[in-house]
Amino acid sequence: MAKYIFVTGGVTSSLGKGIIAASLAKLLQARGFNTIIQKFDPYINVDPGTLNPYEHGECYVTDDGAETDLDLGHYERFLNVPTSQANNVTTGKIYQTVINKEREGAYLGKTVQVIPHITDEIKRLMLLLGQSGKYDLVITEIGGTVGDIESLPYIEAIRQLRWELGMENCVVVHLTLLPYLATAGELKTKPTQHSVKEMMMSGIQPDILVCRAEQSLNYDIRRKLALFCNLDTASIIEARDAESIYDVPLLMLQEKLDMAVISKLRLVERSEPKLHAWKAFLGRLKNPTQVINVGLVGKYVELQDAYKSILESFIHAGAVNECRVNIKTIHSETIDSYNVSNKLQGLHGVLVAPGFGERGIEGKIETVRYARENNIPFFGICLGMQCAVIEFARHILKLQGAHSTEMNIDTPHPVIDLMPEQKKVSQKGGTMRLGAYQCNLKHSSLAYKAYKKAEISERHRHRYEFNNKYLSDFEAAGMIATGKNPESGLVEIVELPSHPWFVGVQFHPELKSTVESPHPLFVSFIKACLT
């Protein structure tokens, strides 16, 4: 039987519940427990697929085509285990299910209410992964902050589960904040006390407190928190700011967070945590032999979370190449033919980021042109690849007005066009080409050399594709389709063999890069930037 760990947050948002949950999962996995994480988000959107990146950061996509919260990226990067649609649930998805059941008559004419119908659906989904028989431990992260109106049904569901499953099968880890007041010269515990009180008013006594703080927790503070929050001092865990998110598992190991959970759940210890690969990665990360500058050109650069997986992929690839990758974010709207050389000055490579819509598109195209003409290593992802195609069509093939029909429906040369199966789609949410698809690589291509195999699988999130009507013209002029979907013939990868390193991919390689398996294209790109 699986056991369940619930991670909640208090005092303020953005404390790092996802990182704490992923770190705990990593430690338990390293001790030999089959562990998985899921995220429950309290917003009404069915999924993050239609949310503006400024609102929610990047939309992470799983192999089975689910559009999910970006925290699932952390889960995969830490655990090196793929997640699925079952790992991310929103309030919108829960209500949609309950309302559909009501419309079908499943409730036999009963009045449908938050309790028990919504909470029952929450509990069903919380237990779903554990009932598969694949996992010993299921960690559930609850989005938002305790006390928020929208979080109340989740807290109530956890309260019920603790009684139904038994206290030895459920643990609640509460992440909270201890603010430091410089004028007083001390950490203040009152906000945490109030947060715990709020949980207790909802019928839940947290089992473990993880305390974010700028200063170390001395014994007196731990004792005070333990006394006023009804815990023993071993259940008070310090979470100081770390140099890197990848330090957090080792910091939590020092604080014995995993041992506290094992004790509360009455688990039999299996082994000391096997973290050799993780420590080796950190050693390379913190001791680079070289430094390079890479430009990230996109239109959401004001919010780092909009490109979270790309930024983390650079960290993974940099560690493999024993170098530190300094990322210079450049807003594509600010780039034009007059300033592009200044904007890209001093860069060893350029990545043109994914995105949707016309805003900033010409800046991306100018970036591609500059990188192509000046032999700067270039990496284009999704829209970045499409920009590379448009640029080549305009300046090499001399197709005036060449564009994507996403930006210009009346373009005389639609080198990027809406996928045939997308032309009848009216609803925006969950209707793109989503999830993992096969791709066959050409031998001798940069992609083949990077992957070291001819057949790969990568994740997609797009509606538009390379227009194969122009393929022969492109290849005759020197832009080669080196990766194609074997069933549809969709061009997945384009390269310029005449260029030192020029690769555009229709898929999202950043979504499959992990600490233990850095993505080969990012590794190859960084290696090219070093030469």
Distance (Å, whole) CA 224 – CA 259: 22
Q: Tell me the HSE value of 302 on the side-chain side, using a 13 A CA sphere.
A: 8
| Phi, psi of 182, deg, nearest 5 | -60, -40
- Tokens 């998985």, located at residue: 36
- H or E element at residue 198: helix 190-201
* Angle in degrees, CA 471, 474, 480, rounded to 5: 85
Distance (Å, whole) CA 333 – CA 357: 12
Q: Which long-range contacts (CB under 8 A, 24 or more apart) does 383-387 make?
A: 383/352, 383/353, 383/354, 383/355, 383/356, 383/462, 384/297, 384/351, 384/352, 384/353, 384/354, 384/504, 385/493, 385/494, 385/504, 385/505, 385/506, 386/416, 386/464, 386/466, 386/504, 386/506, 387/352, 387/361
User: Catalytic positions, please?
Assistant: 382, 508, 510
Cβ-based neighbours of 167, under 8 Å, separated by 6 or more: none
> Is the peptide bond prior to 116 cis by the omega test (within 30 degrees of 0)?
yes
> Do the beta carbons of residue 195 and residue 151 sit within 8 Å?
no
Q: Tell me the HSE value of 422 on the side-chain side, using a 13 A CA sphere.
A: 17
Distance (Å, whole) CA 497 – CA 451: 17
> Do the beta carbons of residue 360 and residue 299 sit within 8 Å?
yes
Of 135, 215, 126, residue with least CA distance to 172: 126
